[in-house]
Structure 1
Amino acid sequence: MTNPEGINRIYQGAPPSLSGIRLHQVVLGRDGPEMRVRLDLPDYPARPPRKWAAQGFNTVQIELAFGGLRSITLDGFGTDVTADISLTGGDGISVDIVGTGARIQAVSDSASIAALTAYVDGARHTPSGEESDLARGLTAAGLKYLGMVGSSVPVIPPHLASFANSTATEGKEWAVSVENDAPDFQQRVNHEWYMLCAHQGLFDPKSPQFLIAVRDTENDHAGAARWARVALQMDWDFAGAGAEARVTGCGWGHPEFVMLSLDGNVIARGSQGQEWTDFVCLKNPHRVPSLRALGARLAESRSTSQATRDALARWLEHTSVE
């Protein structure tokens, strides 16, 4: 950034990262040409300016201006996009915005902060008791809870994603297995999961965030689940503490979970059989005909919850096999 002074002053020299931002608007202008990105930062300053504190503001919003725009690609968007932004130098400034159901890549000559404001975001609330319980369970697994994914985001629903290890995938999956009676079972599960998922793109090792399926407490339908956004911490334990907390399994030593990359292009499925615990990564699920066909059938089935049927319809309409 060419003008970081303002934001450094607001955050006492330690501004938050551009991971987990709320994306509001992307505007292209012919003067420059230029791209402007308006977003909410994930954290509010500990010591905000007096005017902000007096008005009860709780959210900082900035507008980034990318001048001399050379190229841009846009894949998807939505009404509730949480994303990560990375900026890298070189021959121009490379911009990569990756979020749930959206990705924007661009190259520009310059990057600056065009606006820095604050406001009251009524959607930012104190977590409910159920959210707090979920956050504690995820913490036990070594995952930081970053919030729920909006129901309007057109990503594959957890129910359909759970079939990633049992549907015909036409060679688009990678897998690893661990013996259930291995003396170092817990350590091997955590290690093999990480190696597989880091290599296959479930997350960026430099900023390991992804989605995990959690119980949908607002849906009475048996087995209903939603996506929660999480960040991997230094000490994770999916086979032990996380499984015991019922967020990455069904009891200590029994891992069972469904995960999804932020862009929706990689599913990670963990399941335990009688002798082996298997981990499967399925890439580009929207391009797997058998999975799409199953999704279409589930969307028509009355035994599927209405929320899942709606989510399936959005995903099928938003994506294609091409």
Structure 2
Amino acid sequence: MSEPHPSLVERLSAAGYRYLETLPMNSDLVPVLVARYLTQLLPDEGRRDVVISHDKPDLTSVLNKTWGRLARESGLLSTSRRGASELLVGLDLAVDVPDEPEFERHRWVRVSAHEYCDIAGVGCENGVLGVGRNNPSFVMASLDGRVLLAAGYWQIGVGFAVITDPGRVLSFRDHAKRLTSFPFVEAAQRDWAERWVRTVSSEDESIQRRDSPRSDAG
């Protein structure tokens, strides 16, 4: 399955995101299920949080504006040749499919963001970005995968977590390795996680060889 169900595209559009394409499961792009682990990381692993109190007045508007600010400041957004702001959204493409698939099928989809995105209102209410108004649950990435932004609802508040260069974070790699053995995860995603770990590990080895001091012969 390479395309989301039309109703999923419609719900994205209602939240302020125009669907452009579904990306292949490239080994240089962190798998969606691995990226979602961002909310489990610790601050000393590079995670940066913005948490807003549940009883904050006009919470929907505050969350939407906070997302917009973080998206710009973190480098989540890329500008297309037409001037549109683009990013990746992690979606389960098995959602809304008439014959319910056996597995969830998480993929990155490339979207363009409208000037104002209603993630906390419409996006959460229609289920594409959350599970009820002001209860966001999603992960997004920059087009190159170097910036991740996840949303969550916690006891202390609701908000966002951001991290850069996920390939360097050992907890992401460990989680990806665990995913490869989960029988309830789609085989294609297990393979994706395994290939991603190999790719980032190989990049580390290349950097270490490049930076290691060379002894002069003779």
Q: TM-score, normalised by structure 1?
A: 0.56
Deviations 1:120-178 (A, max 9, x none): xxxxxxx97x5321221011110011011123454111111111121246442221111
Q: Does 1:149 align with 2:23?
A: yes
The separation in 2 between residues aligned to 1:224 and 1:178, in whole angstroms, is: 31
Bigger relative CO (Cα 8 Å, ≥ 6 apart): 2
SS in 2 for 1:214: strand
1:312 to 193, 200, 208: 193
Match of 2:171 in 1: 290
For the 8 Å contact 2:78–2:142, the answer to whether it is kept is no
**Larger fraction in helix:** 2
SS in 2 for 1:319: helix
Give, in angstroms, the shift of residue 314 of structure 1: 2.0
SS in 1 for 2:19: strand
Matched to 1:188, the amino acid is V
Matched to 1:256, the amino acid is S
Matched to 1:198, the amino acid is R
Matched to 1:148, the amino acid is T
Matched to 1:215, the amino acid is D
CA RMSD of aligned residues (A): 2.3
Give, in angstroms, the shift of residue 221 of structure 1: 4.5
2:87 to 196, 210, 227: 210
Give, in angstroms, the shift of residue 304 of structure 1: 2.8
The separation in 2 between residues aligned to 1:223 and 1:183, in whole angstroms, is: 36
The structure whose Rg is larger is 1
Match of 1:201 in 2: 75
Q: Which stretch shows the higher mean deviation, 212-221 or 228-237?
A: 212-221
Match of 1:192 in 2: 66
Match of 1:268 in 2: 149
For the 8 Å contact 1:198–1:204, the answer to whether it is kept is no
Matched to 2:36, the amino acid is S
Match of 1:132 in 2: 6
Deviations 1:196-240 (A, max 9, x none): 221111113664211111112288345442111111102210000
Change (3 A) 1:192 1:295: same
Matched to 1:165, the amino acid is T
Match of 2:126 in 1: 245
1:166 to 34, 37, 40: 40
Matched to 2:134, the amino acid is G
Matched to 1:210, the amino acid is L
The separation in 2 between residues aligned to 1:157 and 1:245, in whole angstroms, is: 24
**Larger fraction in strand:** 1
For the 8 Å contact 1:159–1:224, the answer to whether it is kept is no
The separation in 2 between residues aligned to 1:169 and 1:274, in whole angstroms, is: 17
SS in 2 for 1:195: helix
Q: List gaps (5 residues or longer) in structure 1.
A: 1-126
Give, in angstroms, the shift of residue 294 of structure 1: 1.6
For the 8 Å contact 2:63–2:159, the answer to whether it is kept is no
SS in 1 for 2:180: helix
The separation in 1 between residues aligned to 2:158 and 2:102, in whole angstroms, is: 28
SS in 2 for 1:255: coil
Match of 1:180 in 2: 54
SS in 1 for 2:89: strand
Residues matched between the structures, number: 195
Deviations 1:21-78 (A, max 9, x none): xxxxxxxxxxxxxxxxxxxxxxxxxxxxxxxxxxxxxxxxxxxxxxxxxxxxxxxxxx
Q: List gaps (5 residues or longer) in structure 2.
A: 208-218
